[in-house]
Amino acid sequence: MGIVMNIGQAADASGVSAKMIRHYESIGLVPQADRRDSGYRDYDPEDVHRLSFVRRARDLGFPLERIRVLLGLWGDPTRSSAEVKALALTHIEELEEKARHLQEMADVLRGLADACDGDGRPHCPIIEGLEARSVPASSPSGERPISRSSSTRLPSRRSPSPGRR
Amino acid sequence: MGIVMNIGQAADASGVSAKMIRHYESIGLVPQADRRDSGYRDYDPEDVHRLSFVRRARDLGFPLERIRVLLGLWGDPTRSSAEVKALALTHIEELEEKARHLQEMADVLRGLADACDGDGRPHCPIIEGLEARSVPASSPSGERPISRSSSTRLPSRRSPSPGRR
DNA sequence: TGCGCGCCTTCCCATCATGGGAAGGTCAAT
DNA sequence: ATTGACCTTCCCATGATGGGAAGGCGCGCA
């Protein structure tokens, strides 16, 4: 009856690619679309509205799992704005943490680059900086795992054997 | 003859996990390690030095493909520091661009969060902000693809048919 | 000699969000 | 009826990393 669009039109209207709309449906982020007899998906304005919501949340960097929660709050008339705000603040923290981390890396590198003449000669503080001392950068959430505890396992120089290289 | 380590020791010494060392070797980022008769990989101090170099470059956010180039410059006595500097500056630009993008998203969201009471009531400017106007954010390199040109294909309200929902 | 534990090997799968492309069916206008 | 744009599903790729399985190796200790 009402205005009905196929996936391409819904994609254009919402800003979410058809590929992604299908994907969001497959992971249950958005409900399964109605189908025409032909198998084509059908979208009405409400569907498009929801997709636009997802699109804007993605534009703000929300990961899909958090958007799943946001969609739940969106459609829940009994939600408290406190829940939404808490979710948003958590996300803001993560965004700023990542931004800080990136900027920190850029700053360290800028320091090395500033010390580099950038001429035709091979001497280069940047290369030396990579070769030598560890980067002080206080890594963010994505903390470096430290591979494994060294502990017991030690050097063990191999006695005269097949020789290497 | 010299000091020889197996992959776990090289991992501890370089800060690159054994898993990653094997991966770097598989994609040709680092040369194939020597093997003992048993099949175990062998690493000498030079190998560990190279792995440490990779590790520091990763810590500074260099993608592996750029590290591949860096390793080439590192081992090239005829390199010009200008080449290295250019690579570094390009990378710095990218890092700052990403940092800006993240911070921009955080700022927009902060604006919405500031307007949200965060109390027990459902009214929430954050949800409304996601629902309504598009986020002005000037996206960085990772530009939003715009799904597809709308062009010809238009609405086409389906005339009285099998009815939906 | 043999046991056992911790290391090594390869191989496959998962992450996160997105896109590319193939093979084949549908729709609407000519 | 033909054509071209659209739709369908399915598989694969990205980038860097990790998890885990199945089976072999190394070495200390009884």
Q: Is A69 on the interface with B (CB under 8 A)?
A: no
Residues B48 and B88 in one domain: no
Beta-carbon contacts of residue B163 (< 8 Å; ≥ 6 apart): A1
Residue-averaged pLDDT of chain A: 84
Evaluate whether residue A68 is within a structural domain. Answer: yes
- What is the mean pLDDT of the segment spanning B5-27? 97
Q: How far is B7 from chain A (nearest CA, A)?
A: 11
Residues B122 and B69 in one domain: no
Evaluate whether residue A58 is within a structural domain. Answer: yes
Residue type, A138: S
DSSP H or E stretch at residue A34: strand A34-35
Residue B122: both structure tokens together: 């459902």
Smallest CA–C1' separation from B39: which nucleotide? C9
Number of domains chain B is built from: 2
CA–CA distance, A22 with B104 (Å, rounded to integer): 29
Q: Tell me the per-residue pLDDT of B104-123, one tens digit each, with 9 for 90 and over.
A: 999 999 999 999 999 999 99
Q: Is B159 on the interface with A (CB under 8 A)?
A: no
A-chain residues near B137 (CB < 8 A): 59-60
Evaluate whether residue A91 is within a structural domain. Answer: yes
Residues A95 and A127 in one domain: yes
Range of the domain at A101: 81-131
Evaluate whether residue B53 is within a structural domain. Answer: yes
Q: Is A127 on the interface with B (CB under 8 A)?
A: yes
Residue A22: both structure tokens together: 């299908």
Evaluate whether residue A2 is within a structural domain. Answer: no
Evaluate whether residue A141 is within a structural domain. Answer: no
A-chain residues near B135 (CB < 8 A): 56, 59-60
* Other C-beta atoms lying within 10 Å of the C-beta of residue A102: 22
Q: Which residue of A has its CA nearest to B132?
A: A53
Evaluate whether residue B147 is within a structural domain. Answer: no
Distance (Å) of CA A74 to CA A44, B67, B96, B109: 18, 44, 33, 16
Evaluate whether residue A144 is within a structural domain. Answer: no
Q: Which residue of B has its CA nearest to A38?
A: B162
Q: Is B114 on the interface with A (CB under 8 A)?
A: no
Residues B70 and B124 in one domain: no
Q: Closest residue by Cα to the C1' atom of nucleotide C6?
A: A153
Residues A59 and A113 in one domain: no
Residues A90 and A38 in one domain: no
Q: How far is A91 from chain B (nearest CA, A)?
A: 8
Q: Tell me the per-residue pLDDT of B138-151, one tens digit each, with 9 for 90 and over.
A: 434 333 333 333 33
Q: What's the CATH code of the domain at A12?
A: 1.10.1660.10
Residues A105 and A66 in one domain: no
Residues A23 and A68 in one domain: yes
Residues B68 and B118 in one domain: no
Query: What share of chain A in percent tops pLDDT 90?
Result: 76
CA–CA distance, B25 with B16 (Å, rounded to integer): 12
Residues A49 and A33 in one domain: yes
3-class DSSP string for B71-113: HHHHCCCCCCHHHHHHHHHHHHHHHHHHHHHHHHHHHHHHHHH
- What is the mean pLDDT of the segment spanning B7-23? 97
Instruction: Say yes or no for a CB contact (<8 Å) between A99 and B96.
Output: no
Q: Tell me the per-residue pLDDT of B47-92, one tens digit each, with 9 for 90 and over.
A: 999 999 999 999 999 999 999 999 999 999 999 999 999 999 999 9
Residues B37 and B85 in one domain: no
pLDDT value of residue B2: 74
Residues B49 and B67 in one domain: yes
